[in-house]
């Protein structure tokens, strides 16, 4: 059983959802809006669990919970963004397991909305209502969003939960049909509590990662995993960058050959936070910001990093007494 107590720092969202359950006033559609990694998915699981087990006998409730936790409940459909590959739709996890690399991010596609329509065309089998959860609903293609709009107009005995960063990330016509459940970024205290309770206390030793996460435990954990996955040759701090020309050129080559553009941009952000929290040197931030702009402008990455390291080395030499 998934306990609501695991949802830290989201008192308003919990109160709104539990109140709806208490007074039996369940909306046809909800929008769980907030930053990634702050508990929207966990709240959706808690809410789905309670919706599916409502008004069931203890024996049936136990069976429903078992199927729900096993991910095979017949009245629950959980939709994730997908890639299209050789006529098949693959989630990001499935694409990674198949070693497929895509430049464009995954999307919620019209084929998945049709799956939702078919799913809701039949009555619920075990529970009082069917439940559909759409992760990253903001990635819907235009055709998918328009198709979903028709479904929201007549959902039948069902509740749909859309998970997105904000109401502005969806079509206004979709938002108008959903009850808004706001999720907030966590305070430093709540962030630390979540990280410790999930066995991720090591993240607290990285101020730059905590700065990048901006109150999102999920983002903080993902950022540390990201940092750990970088080639060992890459410095984790600007204080460790080489000053010799040959070393700087070799490091630029490694970055350009091993990291895609998205990862390089993340690395720039990490270095900015790390150095700002340590030295607060504006000139260094300006060099790295120029690096970011050039990468976004599709300048040849190796050349960008060569220029970056040379500029950093020149600045470091000039600052020496």
The per-residue pLDDT for range 108-130, each reduced to its tens digit, is: 999 999 999 999 999 998 888 99
Do 294 and 259 share a structural domain?
yes
The answer to whether 77 and 116 are in contact (CB under 8 A) is yes
pLDDT higher than threshold 80 for residue 237: no
235 and 140 in a common domain: no
Q: How far apart are CA 42 and CA 198, in angstroms?
A: 13
Question: % helix / strand / coil in the chain, to the nearest 5?
Answer: 55, 10, 30
- CATH code of residue 118: 3.40.50.300
What are the tens digits of pLDDT across the range 187-210? 999 999 999 999 999 999 999 899
Q: Calculate mean pLDDT across residues 131-140.
A: 96
**Do 127 and 30 share a structural domain?**
yes
For residues 162-191, give the mean pLDDT. Answer: 96
Mark whether 114 and 155 lie in a shared domain. yes
Contact in structure between 4 and 18 (CB atoms under 8 Å)? yes
224 and 309 part of one domain: yes
Out of 134, 155, 184, pick the residue that ends a domain. 184
Mean predicted confidence (pLDDT) in 48-73: 85
53 and 174 assigned to the same domain: yes
Measured between alpha carbons, how far is 20 from 30 in angstroms, rounded to an integer?
A: 11
Which 3 state secondary structure label does DSSP give 133?
A: strand
Which DSSP category does 73 fall into? -
When mean pLDDT is compared across 54-58, 109-113, 126-130, 217-221, the lowest value belongs to: 54-58
pLDDT (average), residues 198-225: 94
Task: Choose the final residue of a domain: 155, 184, 213.
Answer: 184
When divided into structural domains, the chain yields a total of: 2
Token readout for 77 is 């459909």
| Separation between Cα atoms, residue 44 and residue 93, nearest integer Å | 20
State which of 184, 217, 247 marks the end of a domain: 184
For residue 312, give its domain range.
189-319
Q: Are residues 135 and 229 in the same domain?
A: no
């Amino acid at each position: 059983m998934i306990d609501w107590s695991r949802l830290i720092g989201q008192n308003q969202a919990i109160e709104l959802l539990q109140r709806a359950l208490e007074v039996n006033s369940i909306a046809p559609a909800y929008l769980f809006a907030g930053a990634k990694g702050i508990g929207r998915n966990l709240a959706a699981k808690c809410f789905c669990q309670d919706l599916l087990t409502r008004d069931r006998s203890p024996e049936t409730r136990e069976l429903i919970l078992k199927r729900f936790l096993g991910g095979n409940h017949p009245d629950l459909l959980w939709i994730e963004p997908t890639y299209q590959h050789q006529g098949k739709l693959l989630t990001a996890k499935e694409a990674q397991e198949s070693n497929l690399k895509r430049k464009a991010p995954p999307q919620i596609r019209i084929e998945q909305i049709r799956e939702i329509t078919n799913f809701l065309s039949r009555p619920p089998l075990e529970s009082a209502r069917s439940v559909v959860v759409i992760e990253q609903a903001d990635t819907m293609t235009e055709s998918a969003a328009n198709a979903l709009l028709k479904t929201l107009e007549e959902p039948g005995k069902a509740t749909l939960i859309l998970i997105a960063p904000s109401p502005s990330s969806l079509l206004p016509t979709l938002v108008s049909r959903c009850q808004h459940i706001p999720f907030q970024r966590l305070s430093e205290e709540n962030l630390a509590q979540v990280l410790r309770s999930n066995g991720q206390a090591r993240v607290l030793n990285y101020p730059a990662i905590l700065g990048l996460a901006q109150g999102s435990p999920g983002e903080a954990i993902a950022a540390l995993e990201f940092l750990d996955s970088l080639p060992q040759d890459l410095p984790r701090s600007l204080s460790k960058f080489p000053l010799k020309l040959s070393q700087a050129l070799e490091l630029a080559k490694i970055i350009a050959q091993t990291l895609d553009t998205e990862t390089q941009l993340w690395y720039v952000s990490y270095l900015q936070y790390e150095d700002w929290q340590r030295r607060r040197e504006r000139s260094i931030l300006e060099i790295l910001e120029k690096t970011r702009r050039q990468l976004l402008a599709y300048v040849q990455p190796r050349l960008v990093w060569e220029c970056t390291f040379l500029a950093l080395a020149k600045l470091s030499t000039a600052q020496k007494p």
